Amino acid sequence: MKHNEILEKIAYCIEYGKIDRNSPFPPNLKGQDGAGEYTQMALEKGIRADDVLRMGLMQGMDRVGKKFRENKIFVPQVLMSAKAMNSSMEHLMPFFTSGEIRSKGKFIIGTVLGDLHDIGKNLVSMILKGNGWEVIDLGIDVSSEKFLDALKEHPDSVVGLSALLTTTMANMKETVEKIKDQNSETCVAIGGAPVTREFCDRIGADIYSPDPQGLVDYLNQRYNAG
Amino acid sequence: MTGKERIKKAFRFEKTDKTPWVPFVGVHGAHLTGMDAESYLKSSEAIVKGVSKAIELYKPDGIPVSFDLQAEAEALGCKLKWAADNPPAVVSHPLEEGTSAGQLPGFSKDAGRIPVFLEACRKLRREHPDIALYGLVTGPFTLALHLAGTNIFMQMMEAPDEVMKLMEFCNGVSKKMASWYIQNGCDVIAVVDPMTSQIDPVSFESFVSPPAVELFDQVRNEGALGSFFVCGFAQQNIEAMCRCRPDNISIDENIPLSYVKDVASSLNVSFGGNLKLTSVLSMGSLRDVELHTLETLDQGGEKGFIMAPGCDLVMDTPAENLVAVGRVLSDSYHREFLRTLEAADTGTGKADLSGHWKDEKVVIDIITLDSSSCAPCQYMVEAVETAANKFGNKVICNEYSIKSKEGISMMNALGVKNVPVTVLDGDIRFISRIPPQAEIDSVIREKLVAKKLI
């Protein structure tokens, strides 16, 4: 198999959530190799890890992000794709550690104080990782102080706040204000089912996107990282 | 027409005397009675007090007994994390931790906080016989997620039979809860299933529709009405939701109301929503709320529409904002006032008041929609003029209709927000209320004394 064919196989497996040979989903690929096997094959054939990431994984996740934005796929399908991506990523981790692969930047993410929902946050994390960002996940129920502490540790990071509950959006406002008070240059992204662009403008955040791909596009443009 | 009758008619697409209004009061009831969310949601007495306060203030046609989508999960063994100003959140998922559905505790009327809600329901029924009481039941898919965690999304792909079994179990819980609410006096069962917003129509039809159809059929057979609530971007599933045979669906601001109206009406399902919870109801000004309510009302139309927030009200939503929603719905003159304001040139500024006030006279300005077409305006003008005439030329009485630019600039200059309003020497005194002659006399006298004119 040619190098570009292997990379396309990786992208395809990630797009359709084919994890490995043993995974039953999707039914039409049952018994065939998945993202894990093709990534291993790519590295064994001498394809550079950075190329595997950019031309395999990132291609696949880019398609997933776009389909999600267009309402062609929903959370279950994205999670399957993320699972497939993780099985590829396992093979690439040593190359991140060695510095052979460099990330586009750091993204601190968390669900705001009082909110324990993590689906949206996790989806954004996965799609950002799949697009080459290093994600620092602070988890759920994260106070403003925790976000500020993480920013002190990783000063040039973008910060992403997630909320599912309308009732916790007030905490989102408070966190945005505190981050901006500390450093008005810090880029703050907000998202979650009840969040709207109007709300984003009102609380002074930099970007709201109803889907992760919108955030990826924004970041790529803002940081010239496409 | 009582609130309950209005809701029932709207659910059947019959014309009502005004659009029914259902504020989704959950922990907001705690805010109204000065409590924290946890104490509130653990006490039937507190819930009755909070809901009764909301009924007194907002004059709704229907209201939920409570808005807590964690109660069933808690009764089935999920651990909760409580907050002072939010509903609790589920923090443990027993099925994810190795428990099987068969090992979960039995779901009974005595489990967890279920008795709290049923008792609150009985008391509210007795105290408010004319209001449509909504019993909120956690939808089977959201309950399944509480029990199994987010792995369920992947299991839908990898182990669909297991997920279907879990959905059947959860629907059994939802059916029991619905029956108990009906037996204790609820008129409407709202099946709240926000997590369905995360799945595609094929998954919805495969996993959610079969149990939901059963659930709504049972609600109907037990003599109640059924409403299907969803929050979040669920536009892809609106048609599938309507095909589950509820009487009504309710959605939030993520979905255009006009879209829902078209789809639901074509399937003979009434619909409700979708006032913006945070940017308008919670954080907006009174005028933002009024104009947004008017806009939502225009989109919803006159038949088959229930005015409601998109979801559970933010706990400290200002009460005056929710009072304002009710006023827009019940006061046709106020709606006309708002429309007139909207249509007016937004560039209209403030009138120049230099030279307007007189040392030797009391100046009364009455801001009206137009006293020739607005009855309350007419009565206010007549009442104030009658009182003013008693003081001869010591009092000047002017009417300013906001249908003219001059009227709007005068309203802006005087800081008036409603009509009809009477302003004496710049002092706003009577707002949308026609006072008795003695009261008007006394206020005019007060102003004359201040100027040493009597």
> Which of B86, B91, B200 minimises the CB distance to A114?
B86
pLDDT above 90 as % of chain B? 78
The whole-angstrom separation of Cα A37 and Cα A19 is 9
SS (H, E, C) chain B: CCHHHHHHHHHCCCCCCCCCECCCCCCHHHHHCCCCHHHHHCCHHHHHHHHHHHHHHHCCCEEECCCCCCHHHHHCCCCEECCCCCCCEECCCCCCCCCCHHHCCCCCCCCCCHHHHHHHHHHHHHHCCCCEEEEEEECHHHHHHHHHCCHHHHHHHHCHHHHHHHHHHHHHHHHHHHHHHHHCCCCEEEEECHHHHHCCHHHHHHHHHHHHHHHHHHHHHCCCEEEEECCCCCHHHHHHHHCCCCCEEECCCCCCHHHHHHHHHHCCCEEEEEECHHHHHHCCCHHHHHHHHHHHHHHHCCCCEEEEECCCCCCCCCHHHHHHHHHHHHCHHHHHHHHHHHHCCCCCCCCCCCCCCCCCCEEEEEEECCCCCCHHHHHHHHHHHHHHHCCHHHEEEEEEECCCHHHHHHHHHHCCCCCCEEEECCEEEEECCCCCHHHHHHHHHHHHHHCCCC
Question: What is the C-alpha to C-alpha distance for residues A210 and A214, in angstroms, rounded to an integer?
Answer: 7
- Among the partner-chain residues B81, B150, B278, the one whose CB lies closest to the CB of A194 is B278
| Confidence label for B449 from pLDDT (cuts 50, 70 and 90) | very high
User: B86 and A167 in contact (C-beta within 8 Å)?
Assistant: yes
Residue to mutate among B157, B192, B203, B207, with most A CBs inside 10 A, is: B157
Length of chain A: 226
Helix axis angle, B319-330 to B44-58, nearest 10°: 50
ipTM field: 0.77
Predicted confidence (pLDDT) per residue in A50-97, tens digit: 999 999 999 999 999 999 888 899 989 999 999 999 999 999 989 988
Task: Report chain B residues whose CB lies below 8 A from the CB of A22.
Answer: none
Band (B406; pLDDT cuts 50, 70, 90): confident
Q: Which residue in B27, B86, B232 is closest to A193 by CB distance? A: B232
Rounded mean pLDDT, B86-113: 90
Using the structure block, give the residue that is written with the tokens 């009327």: B109
The tens digit of pLDDT for each residue in B309-351 reads 998 998 999 999 999 999 999 999 899 999 988 877 566 778 8
Q: Could you tell me the two tokens for B329?
A: 């719905």
CB of B206 within 8 Å of any CB in chain A? Answer: no
The percentage of residues in chain B with a pLDDT greater than 70, rounded to a whole number, is: 99
Closest approach of A67 to chain B, Cα-based (Å): 12
Q: Which residue of chain B has the CA closest to A211?
A: B233
Average pLDDT over residues A21-31: 92
Task: Dig out the tokens for B307 from the structure.
Answer: 């005015």
Residue A114 has pLDDT above 60, yes or no: yes
| Distance from C-alpha of A20 to C-alpha of A41, rounded to nearest angstrom | 12
Token match 């229930």: residue? Answer: B306
Tell me if chain A has a CB within 8 Å of the CB of B196.
Answer: no
The enclosing H or E element of A111 equals strand A106-111
Residues contacting residue B152 through CB under 8 Å, at least 6 positions apart: B144, B145, B163, B166
Mean pLDDT of chain B: 93
Residues 6 or more apart in contact with residue B77 via CB below 8 angstroms: B94, B99, B104, B105
Task: State the sign of the Cα–Cα–Cα–Cα dihedral B308, B314, B315, B321.
Answer: negative
Mean pLDDT for the stretch of residues B113-126: 98
**Domain coordinates in residue numbering, chain B:** 3-330, 362-450
Q: Provide the greatest CA pair distance for chain A.
A: 55
More confident residue, B377 or A36: A36
| Closest chain A C-alpha to B105 CA, distance in angstroms | 24
User: To 10 degrees, the CA torsion angle through A173, B229, B286, B293?
Assistant: 140
Backbone φ/ψ region at A224: left (φ over 0), alpha (ψ -120 to 50), beta: left
Q: Which amino acid is at B9?
A: K
Q: Within an 8 Å CB–CB cutoff, is residue B343 touching chain A?
A: no
Q: Residues of B with CB below 8 A from A23's CB?
A: 158
Instruction: Quick: pLDDT tens for B124-161.
Output: 999 999 999 999 999 999 999 999 998 899 999 999 99
CA atoms within 13 A on the CB side of B201: 11
Per-residue pLDDT, B377: 87
**What confidence score (pLDDT) does residue A193 get?**
81
Query: Which residues of chain A make contact with B285, given a CB cutoff of 8 A?
Result: none
Q: How far apart are CA B135 and CA B48, in angstroms?
A: 14
Considering CB atoms only, which of B158, B194, B310 is closest to A24?
A: B158
Look at residues A158, A216, A146, A209 and name the one whose alpha carbon lies nearest to residue A183. A158
Instruction: Give the pLDDT of residue B346.
Output: 62
Check whether B260 has a pLDDT greater than 90. yes
Q: pLDDT value at position B418?
A: 81
Asked if the C-beta of A74 comes within 8 angstroms of chain B's C-beta atoms, the answer is: yes
B3-330 folds as TIM Barrel (3.20.20)
- How close, in Å, is residue B199 to chain A by CA atoms? 5
| Mean pLDDT computed over A35-59 | 95
Please report where in the chains the tokens 């947004």 appear, as a residue. B292
Q: What is the pLDDT of residues B224-240, one digit of tens each?
A: 999 999 988 899 999 99
Place of tokens 């000065």: B34
Chains A, B: CB contacts within 8 A come to 99
B60 CA: distance to closest CA in chain A (Å): 22
State the nearest Cα–Cα gap between B198 and chain A, in angstroms. Answer: 5
Which pLDDT belongs to residue A226? Answer: 57
User: Structural domains in chain A?
Assistant: 3-98 (1.10.1240.10), 106-222 (3.40.50.280)
Is there a contact between A116 and B154 if contact means CB atoms under 8 Å apart? no
Q: Does B232 touch chain A (CB under 8 A)?
A: yes
| Residue B345: predicted pLDDT | 59
Q: Say whether residue B422 is in contact with chain A using an 8 A CB cutoff.
A: no
Domain B362-450 CATH class label:
alpha beta
**B278 and A199: CB-CB below 8 Å?**
yes
Residue A23 has a pLDDT of: 93
CA A131 – CA B402 distance, rounded (Å): 56
Asked if B154's CB is within 8 angstroms of A210's CB, the reply is: no
Residue with tokens 């799949």: A130
A193–B197 C-beta distance less than 8 A: yes
Any A CB within 8 A of B41 CB: no
User: What's the gap in Å between the CA of B189 and the closest CA on chain A?
Assistant: 22
pLDDT in tens, A175-209: 999 999 998 999 999 999 888 888 999 999 999 99
Report the alpha-carbon distance of residue A49 to residue B421 in Å, rounded. 74
Which of B27, B157, B310 lies nearest to residue A80, judging by beta carbons? B157
